[in-house]
Structure 1
Amino acid sequence: MQAKLAIIMRGLPGSGKSFWVNNYLKQLGIEQALHVKQHGYFSTDSYFEKQGKYQFNSKMLSQYHQANLTAFINAMANNEPLVICDNTNVAKWEYMAYEAAAKSLGYQVRVVLIGEPKDYKHQELCVERNSHQVPLSQIKRMAKLFELDD
């Protein structure tokens, strides 16, 4: 039997987290990739999508993070073989619940950091590439708070 895997993405907006996920899923083949996208892929950003447009609302952030975590846990409770959390996860506490739930439900956990959040050139690249028009000032603020493993 194949081991169950939980992947937790980390990185600044525009770092390439979703790009990495899409490339990873392509390697699995179209059928499995589609299945994971429908049943095992979780991003708090998706809750801000309204009629195909991203509409961020800071008042809803906490509620949407909780809904995303709940959906992630429910997928594992349903024995989805692969689950992915595609959030920025700037601080360790932001993904601790995902990691703890995955481990308690028998999943291997892989935390994937994309880019170098503390590197200024990387921050500038993130500003150019992020799909939600997050400005450099906000990227810098997030980068300053970004907790790296020692």
Structure 2
Amino acid sequence: MQAKTYIPMITKLNHVSVFVLDQDSAYNFYVNKLGFNLHTDAAMGPGMRWLTVCPPEQPDLEISLMAINAGMMFNEESAAQMRALVSAGTFGFGVFECKDLQATYEELKAKGVEFTKEPTREFYGYEALFKDDSGNWFSLAEAKAG
């Protein structure tokens, strides 16, 4: 009897969404402040826009900067609730890595990025916390050597 070779059904994540209050402002924040690359900026029908950016060293991961508008995903009531959650900093979260946290922190702070926690050594690593222009918050961690 021959052993069956397992082939994983899911092989990677290539798109993830960050809900934003304004796509033009989010474009400016992610591209001009964080230094991400624009991947796609395309009209998707009346009042809809597909806007994705990529971290410079991870071009196969597209971050979709999704406007919170009534339409296909949200009715007006749920869109208003989502905008309130994002604005309050209670919805979005992610972890970004960098090679030199202190230098990256200083550079981003000089560009006007709002940090809610300065670089701090924690039991799990070296990190700082910041918010995007919509209120989503992120951990910025120094990549571990090795």
Higher helix share: 1
Higher strand share: 2
Could you tell me the TM-score, scaled by structure 2's length?
0.32
